[in-house]
Structure 1
Amino acid sequence: MEYNVYLLATDPKNPCRDVIHSRDTSLKIRVYCLENDIFEPNHNEIQLFGYAHGKLYAFETIDINAEDALDVVGAIQWYADYVEYPDMEILPEDPRPGHNVAM
């Protein structure tokens, strides 16, 4: 079984501004802490959400390629392990009231 290797770029001035990079593909995912960050979803990207340690995170791809779309969940699961919350439930929609608006 082949496993993807992920790397994390962090912003030393903002601990909530992580970017997950796949070492072997062009997949990149920006991480937002929704209690601290303003999040305006880009409708050309994939957004997923998850709670860890009582905080809600948004995960949004950066310039997603069709061939990388299947790896998004695996990258988020890797991040959940990284933040020591391996049981993070990955949600397809923003669970905050009023933020799940159909386009």
Structure 2
Amino acid sequence: MDYNIYLLATDPKNPCRDVIHSRDTELKIRVFCLDEERFTPNESEIQLYGYAHNKLYAFETININSEDALDVVGAIQWYADYIDYPEMEILPEDPRRNHNIAM
């Protein structure tokens, strides 16, 4: 069984702005800390969410292609292990109350 290798690019000016990169594919995922910054989902990308260490994270793909779509959850699980929270539940929708209500 093949396993993907993931790398992490970090922003020294913003600790909540990590980017997960797959070493062997084109997959890239931007990480957002929703408790600390605004997030507007891109309709062309995949977004998933998860709580870890009492923070809500959003994960959004960057220029996703169909071949890499199946690896998104694995990359997020890798990130959860990286931040020492392997039990992170990955959610398909933003769990913030009333977040999806149009103003």
Q: TM-score, normalised by structure 2?
A: 0.96
* Alpha-carbon distance, 1:18 to partner: 0.1
Matched, 1:70 2:70: yes
Summarize the Cα distance change of 1:20–1:101 in structure 2 as closer, same or farther, 3 Å threshold: farther
Number of aligned residue pairs: give it. Answer: 102
Question: What's the RMSD between the two structures over aligned residues?
Answer: 1.1
- Look up the match of 1:17: 17
* Alpha-carbon distance, 1:100 to partner: 3.1
Structure 2 residue matching 1:18: 3-state secondary structure: strand
CA distance in 2, matches of 1:84, 1:66: 29
Stretches of structure 2 lacking an aligned partner (at least 5 in a row): none
Stretches of structure 1 lacking an aligned partner (at least 5 in a row): none
* Alpha-carbon distance, 1:56 to partner: 0.2
CA distance in 1, matches of 2:28, 2:51: 20
- Look up the match of 2:5: 5
- What is the identity percentage for the equivalent residue pairs of Structure 1 and Structure 2? 79
CA distance in 2, matches of 1:29, 1:50: 14
- Look up the match of 2:56: 56
CA distance in 2, matches of 1:29, 1:99: 22
